Amino acid sequence: MFLEGAAWKDMKTLECDACKAERRARGRVIFPNEDERLQQPPFDAAPYLHPNNSPKYAALQQRALKFAHQRHEDNEAKRSWLTATTTRTSS
């Protein structure tokens, strides 16, 4: 179906219960409102739960800027930032 250009929402409706459970178990991003495991220890005592690695990447960007400033006494040193964008090839 995918190779013929079927949409994910259509393919998902045909998924069996075993496949749904397996897909959910393999998911890498946890959604706090949907996952009951987050109500159990040790997650129930966590001060902050977030999807993805956003805080880590923000800290790494700050570290990279500081590193660039330390290595280049000339503050006009060139720095380039690239933004990656994901686009769908089919609907």
pTM of whole model > 0.75?
no
Report d(CA 35, CA 40) in Å as an integer.
10
- Please, what is the Cα angle at 61 between 56 and 63, to 5 degrees? 95
- Hey, what are 46's tokens? 């966590």
Tell how far CA 52 is from the center of its chain: 4
Q: pLDDT tens for the chain, 91 residues: list them.
A: 888 888 988 888 999 999 989 988 887 777 767 778 888 898 888 887 776 777 888 888 899 888 887 877 665 556 667 777 888 776 6
